[in-house]
């Protein structure tokens, strides 16, 4: 067989192999490769809901106690980064103290695809970073809590930690209600994970924002309660205390004050974690002489006693097998009124028959 014929047969065999291979890839394995291509082009994004805000009453109006502020996480894809030195300089210049230490070393990694460079970057800083048009750099929006009234009602409100979870107070107790439900976006993206099209292949599930809360707390009463509590503790040389103010007609809570307190926006600076507790609802309380006011109120309401009803105070009284005594055992109030019972917190208060 001549060389020309051998070469021709060889070429035909090779062409046949290519045809068979193409047929296998394009026809038999069509669905498989189409799926693989789709996976490489399509990205799923989680749409974060906005956390519900918290309001208090201000007379007949409402006033915000907890609001949301947009902040951004700045990240880079080392596979798309072209000028790591410029990115590092830009981040240090614009993001400043929000930059994470050591991120520069990962910008040239051949294995990583996601490197966080800064967190809690403000909207103004994010806009400046966008203007630099840095290849391989992206921004991810998040929200952080801001407290317009500072420390007001701190233990009642609680705070949101760095992972976005409510801790203590209302933020912790109603975390699910305030958080809302995340949504999802599935779309074809470019190498920077920016969606290119919106079409029938896209899947979008809207996020449901968290509920806003309007409390029965009155901002002015809350502020006054905290001032009065602090003044009372200073006068008594006490280190901690709580105060609850309620509407006697409806039972609505108008104020919850605790001391010592803290700034929810700076919760990470607190060293004594017990300060996070709202003692009014979380700490055991021995009612003690407080019950005298309830008992006296019931007695006056039923007509069993009046404010001027008297009894012979001997300093102690026998009830079955128990002797109840006043703190001062001497009978210094022989004709004691019901008003005296409350004023001097007498344990022997009774109505003589």
Q: Of the residues 242, 262, 282, which one is the last residue of a structural domain?
A: 282
Judge if 278 and 295 occupy the same domain.
no
In a domain, 335, yes or no: yes
Q: What pLDDT was estimated at residue 28?
A: 81
Residues 264 and 308 in one domain: no
Please check whether residue 276 is in contact with residue 168, taking contact to mean a CB–CB distance below 8 angstroms. Answer: yes
In this structure, the answer to whether residues 278 and 219 fall within a common structural domain is: yes
* Pick from 259, 200, 214, 263: nearest CA to 232: 259
Nearest to 71 by CA among 139, 159, 160: 139
Q: What is the pLDDT of residue 216?
A: 96
Q: What is the DSSP letter of 122?
A: E
pLDDT value, residue 267: 94
pLDDT of residue 201: 54
Q: Is residue 99 part of a domain?
A: no
Enclosing H/E stretch for 198: none
User: Is residue 197 in a domain?
Assistant: no
263, 313: one domain? no
Report residue 286 CA to chain centroid gap. 31
My answer on whether 275 and 313 are in the same domain is no
If asked whether residues 236 and 263 sit together in one domain, one would say: yes
Residue at a domain's end among 263, 282, 301: 282
pLDDT in tens, the chain (353 residues): 677 877 877 888 888 888 888 877 787 877 776 666 666 666 666 778 899 999 999 989 999 999 999 999 999 999 888 899 999 999 999 998 888 988 888 898 888 888 999 988 999 999 999 999 898 898 988 888 999 999 999 999 999 998 889 999 999 999 999 999 988 877 666 555 555 555 545 657 788 999 999 999 999 999 999 999 999 999 999 999 999 999 999 999 999 999 999 999 999 999 999 999 999 998 888 888 888 988 999 999 999 999 888 888 888 888 889 888 888 765 566 788 899 888 888 888 877 65
The predicted pLDDT at position 94 comes to 93
The whole-angstrom separation of Cα 266 and Cα 18 is 67
Residue 229 to residue 22: CA distance in whole angstroms:
83
CATH code, domain carrying 257: 3.30.450.330
Domain assignment present for residue 255? The answer is yes
Residue 275 and residue 225 in one domain: yes
SS3 of the chain: helix, strand, coil, percent, to 5: 35, 25, 35
In the prediction, which pLDDT does 37 show?
Answer: 63
The C-alpha atoms of residue 195 and residue 301 are separated, in whole angstroms, by 71
* Count of structural domains, the chain: 2
Residues 274 and 321 in one domain: no
What does each C-alpha distance from 39 to 32, 35, 59, 78, 188 come to in angstroms?
11, 6, 56, 20, 9
In a domain, 97, yes or no: no
pLDDT at 143: 85
Residue 278 belongs to what domain range? 215-282
- Mark which of 256, 282, 308 sits at the end of a domain: 282
Query: Is residue 82 in some structural domain?
Result: no
Give the C-alpha separation, 98 to 46, whole Å. Answer: 24
The strand pair at 213-218 and 54-58 is best described as parallel
Nearest to 242 by CA among 155, 172, 342, 174: 155
């Amino acid at each position: 067989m001549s060389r020309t014929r051998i070469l021709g047969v060889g070429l035909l065999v090779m062409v046949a192999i290519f045809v068979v291979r193409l047929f296998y890839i394009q026809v038999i394995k069509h669905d498989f490769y189409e799926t693989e291509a789709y996976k490489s082009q399509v990205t799923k994004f989680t749409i974060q809901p906005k956390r519900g805000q918290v309001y208090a009453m201000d007379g007949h109006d409402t006033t915000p106690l907890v609001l949301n502020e947009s902040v951004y996480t700045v990240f880079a894809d080392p596979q798309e980064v072209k000028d790591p030195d410029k990115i590092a300089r830009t981040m240090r210049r614009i993001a400043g103290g929000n930059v994470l230490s050591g991120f520069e070393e990962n910008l040239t990694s051949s294995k990583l695809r996601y490197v966080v460079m800064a967190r809690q970057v403000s909207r103004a800083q994010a806009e400046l970073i966008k203007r630099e048009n840095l290849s391989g750099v992206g921004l991810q929006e998040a929200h952080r809590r801001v407290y317009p009234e500072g420390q007001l009602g701190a233990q009642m409100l609680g705070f949101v930690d760095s992972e976005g979870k409510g801790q203590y107070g209302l933020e912790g107790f109603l975390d699910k209600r305030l958080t809302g439900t995340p949504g999802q976006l599935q779309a074809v993206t470019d190498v920077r994970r920016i969606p290119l099209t919106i079409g029938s292949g896209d899947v979008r599930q809207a996020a449901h924002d968290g509920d806003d809360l309007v409390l029965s707390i009155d901002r002015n009463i809350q502020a006054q309660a905290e001032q009065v509590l602090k003044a009372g503790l200073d006068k008594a040389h006490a280190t901690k205390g709580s105060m609850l103010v309620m509407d006697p007609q409806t039972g609505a809570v108008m104020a919850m004050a605790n001391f010592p307190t803290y700034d929810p926006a700076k919760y990470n600076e607190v060293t004594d974690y017990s300060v996070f507790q709202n003692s009014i609802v979380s700490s055991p309380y021995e009612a003690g002489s407080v019950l005298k006011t309830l008992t006296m109120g019931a007695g006056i309401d039923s007509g069993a006693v009046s404010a001027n009803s008297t009894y012979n105070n001997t300093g102690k009284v026998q009830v079955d097998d128990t002797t109840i005594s006043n703190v001062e055992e001497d009978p210094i109030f022989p004709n004691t009124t019901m008003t005296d019972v409350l004023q001097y917190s007498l344990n022997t208060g009774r109505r003589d028959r």
